[in-house]
Amino acid sequence: MDDDTTASTLTIDFCGERHACTPGRTFSVGRDADLSIDDNRYLHRRLLEFEWASGMWWMTNCGQSITVGVATADGTYQAMLGPAGRMPLVSSPLSVVFSAGPFTYELGVILDGSSANPAPDAALPVSTGADTALSATLGATTFTPSQRLLIIALCEPMLRDGMAGASRIPSSAEAAERLGWPITTFNRKLDNVCDKLDRDGVPGLRGGVGKLARNRKSRLVEHAIMARLVTPTDLALLDAGQP
């Protein structure tokens, strides 16, 4: 039986609102949960559960189709937690990012206690689960100035928020208009960006050999935010219309 008196404090941050998790009680996140983040029909009623067990905090993906991205604050380490996946939370702070329909969401996860490791030297451990994959330090991908602008344009809503929350991913037409590009130019550059990241081992950007993943823009935004490929300071480049 777990000794709850030694439990570290776990806090979930969403849109600036902080929710404390209590040992002995499972805390859920989803469309209809302890933390109801959005009335989005694409979002599971319960997507994530946090609980204290075996001397540490755990996060479980209890959804059926949504894969959740987890990264350390500096984006150095990333993990993908698929449906039925479960992972111990051993580093802090963490960024938890996932997409449902046209929206992308980000949660902040903060540990305060002996189980938290503020400077991890190893990849985030992930338990066995359906469609669960782990990626440690990914090689730095080099982008052309225009490719970088494309990434900034797709991430603009999340970067403007300045905090964990929910943001709608721009459509290809909206992002192309924001950049002043023809849609054909935007799609070609998006293909190139996804190809580069796919070659560097970023999962979810292609659906197989020669076949683009259906939700590649969502996955691209998730990775860019988690890996800190772009930050709010890059918005000035977008506003200036130049790299």
Instruction: Determine contact, residues 166/37, Cβ cutoff 8 Å.
Output: yes
Q: Is residue 4 scored above 50 in pLDDT?
A: yes
Q: Which two tokens stand for residue 177?
A: 């208009």
* Residue 108, in any domain of the structure: yes
Residue 155: per-residue pLDDT: 92
Residue 213: per-residue pLDDT: 54
Residue that is last in its domain, among 135, 169, 204? 135
Residue that is last in its domain, among 135, 153, 170? 135
* Whether residue 64 sits in one domain with residue 112: yes
Q: Is residue 125 very low, low, confident or very high in pLDDT (cuts 50, 70, 90)?
A: very low
Write out pLDDT tens, residues 63-73: 988 889 888 87
DSSP annotation string for the chain: ---GGGPPEEEEEETTEEEEE-TTS-EEEESSSSEE----TTS-SS-EEEEEETTEEEEEE--SS--EEEEETTSS-EEEE-TT-EEE--BSSEEEEEEETTEEEEEEEEEESTT-BSS-SSPPP----TT-EEE-SPPPPP--HHHHHHHHHHHHHHHHH-SSSEEEPPPHHHHHHHHT--HHHHHHHHHHHHHHHHHTT-TTSEEETTEE-TTHHHHHHHHHHHTTSS-GGGHHHHHHT--
Supply the mean pLDDT for the chain. Answer: 81
Q: Is residue 2 scored above 70 in pLDDT?
A: no
Residue 99: per-residue pLDDT: 86
Number of domains within the chain:
2
* Whether residue 171 sits in one domain with residue 217: yes
Residues 6+ apart with CB under 8 A from 24: 4, 52
Q: Is residue 121 scored above 50 in pLDDT?
A: no
Residue 25: per-residue pLDDT: 93
Rounded mean pLDDT of 43-61? 94
The CATH number of the domain where 73 resides is what?
2.60.200.20
Residue 20: per-residue pLDDT: 93
* Whether residue 224 sits in one domain with residue 188: yes
The amino acid that residue 167 corresponds to is S
Count of CA atoms in the C-beta half-sphere (13 A) of 171: 4
Write out pLDDT tens, residues 164-195: 566 788 999 999 999 999 999 999 999 999 99
* Whether residue 116 sits in one domain with residue 160: no
Residues 6+ apart with CB under 8 A from 101: 40, 41, 42, 43
Q: Which two tokens stand for residue 170?
A: 């721009």
Q: Is 93 or 119 the better-scoring residue by pLDDT? A: 93
Percent of the chain surpassing pLDDT 70: 78
Residue 201: per-residue pLDDT: 81
Q: Is residue 151 scored above 80 in pLDDT?
A: yes
Q: Is 93 or 4 the better-scoring residue by pLDDT? A: 93
CA dist., res. 155 & res. 159, Å (int): 6
At residue 127, φ and ψ (nearest 5 deg) are: -80, 170
* Residue 10, in any domain of the structure: yes
Q: Is residue 219 scored above 50 in pLDDT?
A: yes
Q: Is 75 or 144 the better-scoring residue by pLDDT? A: 144
Q: Is 161 or 205 the better-scoring residue by pLDDT? A: 205
- Residue-range definition of the domain harbouring residue 35: 4-135
Q: Which two tokens stand for residue 240?
A: 């200036």
CA dist., res. 119 & res. 221, Å (int): 25
Residue 113: per-residue pLDDT: 61
* Whether residue 127 sits in one domain with residue 22: yes
Residue 188: per-residue pLDDT: 95
Q: Is residue 27 very low, low, confident or very high in pLDDT (cuts 50, 70, 90)?
A: very high
Q: Which two tokens stand for residue 180?
A: 């002043």
* Residue 46, in any domain of the structure: yes
Rounded mean pLDDT of 154-173? 80
